[in-house]
Amino acid sequence: MMSQLFDFMIQRPEFVRTPLHELPPAVAERIAAGEVIERPVSVVKELVENALDAGAQDIRIEVRGGGLRLIRVSDDGYGIPAEELAAVCERHTTSKLTTFEDLERLHTLGFRGEALASIATIAEVTIQSRAWETEQEEGEEQPAFWFTWRGGQLQERGRRARPHGTTVTVTDLFYNVPARLNYTRAARTENGHIVQLVRRYAVGYPSVRFYLALDEHTAVQTSGSGNLATTLTELYHISLEEMLQEIDVSDGEHYWLRGYMGNRVLAQSSRQYMTLFINGRWVQSRVLQEALEQGYRSLLPKGKHPLLVLALEVPPDEVDVNIHPAKIEVHLLQEAKIKDAITQTVKGLLERSPVVPESVQFPGPVLATQRRLPGPRRRGLHVAETADGYRAEVAEPGTAEVIVSLQPLAQLQQAVILAEAPDGSLYLIDQHRAHERIIYEHLRSTYSGVRAEDEEVHSHLLLEPVIIEMKRYEAELLEQRLPMLRGLGIECERFGGRSFLIRSVPASEGSEQLAAHLQELAELATEDSTDWEDHLLIGLACRSALKRGRELGPGEQRTLLKNLATVSAPAVCPHGSPILLHYSRNFLINKFDW
């Protein structure tokens, strides 16, 4: 059997060179169509983008058979004038640019004039449209015109009544491209890709109403309210108001970042809930994806990714979108600056985001009919008071303003402080992690100041010097780093062979506890990495911080919270573990059914 397989593998067809010639138009068009239309979701993407470019406020999508049998996209946009409709499926026909220079100032999602021509080449396409100008000028009911193409050839035309806008119906997709048809997945898989795409555009354009039906069942429906938080609630059928943090960052010249990021509880095991738009165009940018991950990787559990909707606005002449057939990759002129802004923005939000007591699992594609969005169910008797009385404007959870106003109520298990906020919400604060964060930021700012100003840092002299033993390669590396350790307040000197003598440690609260941990701290100082200094600072902070099991009086609890309010990242310890657990007032109201 193996020999037969081997014989088959080594067979080569006899090579016969054919003369250079131009591809027949039918073959060239199918090849070009394959570059743009990879699967049914590609058709939906192109048609939805055309509807958005036409100024649509209501986009309705119908899919059957995973998109192979039917894809229909209807909109209430400007429509296509009757005299132009016959040419829309010709290659490189577009109303969106006229000169090469227009590519440098694009304000539309489509521009090449290839989408409809490519789709019509590999399917049967019917386009029915009525231009908005006709209705406005005539002031009376006007018919819409329709044309049908199959395999790129015009088949039929006619008139039919409809409001202004356009409907594109695609049937028998890939009927004449059997190789592509064979690679198309099951209808359920293709439907999943389509749902994911429509959700992306729904959050990218919250002021547009989106409706998606899969085999006559509603899968996506949004109201077009213009409020992104409302749109996310409509898409995922869970209340997200208290779990979203707004993003609004700009340098006033090269970029403007807007959107929302979910807090820690919304972190999921899939990247599909991270959506990135550049100038209104959904993109998959490896560079910007890396910038996002640099911001959240150390602050979320391994394998978890945040809910994120990020819209990046840049000057049209500072972005090139014409580098990919499907227009999902871009080049940015100010890439380095934008990457740094994205990383710092994501990191800063998560560092101030407390955890909440319930996890949230987003649903997959919804294939059943949904007549209304599910809301909280109330059971039993209700007291007279309502939640509305407690919804005063308060600061964002996890901010310095909230933390400094917390009133300690008790210490739980000599490890956690229970405190109440002015709005009636409750916080649990891990005393060890909170103190660790305070010490770490003190050490980091002191160390940075010493390096910047070349000043000596204060140190705590040990009662008795401590001798440590290092491995040979560690000893050589440690000796090279002795000047940097001295800048941290660690007086260390070689004591012969592989032995070192440590006389002092950084002067910070809890520094007297470090004597028992000098061996492991020295090992951190010999890490063969570029982050060894930061890892050493984290180690110093961790081993100096308050231990769990230590009783704290009310005054000590208040002091700890006051100091925590001064740090830049009060919600996470230097290792990325949560410090704050937040029970919001609405959470308590819902759980107790007030």
Confidence class for position 592, pLDDT limits 50, 70, 90: confident
The percentage of residues in the chain with a pLDDT greater than 70, rounded to a whole number, is 78
pLDDT, mean of residues 175-197: 83
CATH topology of domain 25-184: Heat Shock Protein 90 (3.30.565)
pTM above 0.75, yes or no: no
526-575: pLDDT as tens digits: 888 888 888 888 998 998 899 889 999 999 999 999 999 999 889 989 98
Q: Nearest 5°: CA angle at 77, between 115 and 281?
A: 50
Question: In angstroms, rounded to a whole number, what is the distance separating the alpha carbons of residues 95 and 345?
Answer: 38
For residues 219-226, average pLDDT: 93
Quick: pLDDT tens for 121-164: 888 999 999 987 654 444 555 678 899 999 888 889 898 888 88
Could you write out the three-class secondary structure of 71-137? Answer: EEEEECCCCCCHHHHCCCCCCCCCCCCCCHHHHHHCCCCCCCCCHHHHHHHCCEEEEEEECHHHHHH
Per the structure block, which two tokens stand in for 482? 């002795």
pLDDT digits (tens, 9 = 90+) for 447-498: 765 554 455 567 788 888 889 898 888 888 888 888 888 888 888 988 888 8
Question: How far apart are alpha carbons 230 and 586 in whole angstroms?
Answer: 17
CATH of domain 228-351: 3.30.230.10
**Is 80 exceeded by the pLDDT of residue 10?**
no
Q: What is the dotted CATH code of the domain comprising 459-506+511-544? A: 3.30.1370.100
CB atoms within 10 A of CB 417: 24
How confident is the model at residue 112, as a pLDDT? Answer: 47
> Is residue 170 very low, low, confident or very high in pLDDT (cuts 50, 70, 90)?
very high
| Least-confidence region, from 23-32, 45-54, 109-118 | 23-32
- Looking at every residue in the chain, the average pLDDT score rounds to 80
Give the pLDDT band of residue 62 (cuts 50, 70, 90).
Answer: very high
User: Residue 91 has what pLDDT?
Assistant: 65
pLDDT, mean of residues 192-202: 93
The 10s digit of each residue's pLDDT in 93-123 is 655 544 444 445 545 564 445 778 888 888 8
Rounded Cα distance between 430 and 417, Å, is 7
Strand-pair partners of 72: 62, 169
Higher pLDDT, 28 or 162: 162
228-351 shares the fold of 25-184: no
- With a cut of 80, say whether residue 90 has pLDDT above it: no
What residue spans define the domains of the chain? Answer: 25-184, 228-351, 459-506+511-544
